[in-house]
Amino acid sequence: MLSQSHTRTDLSWTDTSPRPRGLGWRLSCALFGHRVSNVAFAANPGPVKHCPCGERLLDMHAETRVSHTVSCFLLGHRYVRIAVRDGHHEYVCTQCGHPLLFRMDSDPYADQSTFKKKVRYLCNLFGHRVHPVVSRQGFHEYACDCGHSFLKEDSGRSVVKHPLVCLFAGHYLRFTERRGSYDEYLCRNCGHTFYFVVTE
């Protein structure tokens, strides 16, 4: 269950377009992408989500540019298990929606339903050594032993690297499918997926 400690005024996600915040907020979104939060989404149910800057977020038929959640990257993600599939345990960050996939037979968190995990920075710098998971939605899914997963068009990959455009510009996300109580979105540049809680 996601924390309900955030209130409607924390980040101003609403189902109607909010009054846009100041120029600084809009400039930040223009430079780095929009902020997303599963905590805020769960606390503010509705069929439409808006960024505090006033822009509509995560439409199923349009691309959304999202920023990195720096607190998760530097301090660690807080994960909850959402599925067992294709011989893997699947987890999602309760804040930013970052997923993890671990083989069931080598999952270091198999006995935990929730946990905190920092990013493996070496994988981010030098690339993820990946294994194939499954083919779905016209893509090939891969996972690294660090848990990071990707959807890529090409098969037979053993390494997946993060392109610099994602590091500097954020992720450009499009809806792929509904997975239980989450909507999955895919970055067009790196194949990174994100899961955002369904609130309608």
pLDDT in tens, 92-116: 999 999 999 999 999 999 999 899 9
Say how far apart CA 156 and CA 62 lie, in whole Å: 30
pTM of the model: 0.86
Same domain, 133 and 185: yes
Same domain, 53 and 84: no
Same domain, 15 and 99: no
Count of structural domains, the chain: 2
Same domain, 33 and 115: no
Torsion angles phi and psi, residue 71, rounded to 5: -60, -40
Among 66, 89, 110, give the residue marking a domain's end.
66
Same domain, 27 and 44: yes
Nearest to 182 by CA among 76, 94, 56: 94
Please report whether residue 43 resides in a domain. yes
Among 34, 49, 66, give the residue marking a domain's end.
66
Which residue range(s) make up the domain with 160?
Answer: 71-197
Please report whether residue 1 resides in a domain. no
Question: Once rounded to an integer, what is the mean pLDDT over residues 36-54?
Answer: 85
Question: Which residue type sits at 15?
Answer: D
Residue 56's pLDDT is: 86
pLDDT in tens, 128-144: 999 999 999 899 999 99
Residue 200's pLDDT is: 80
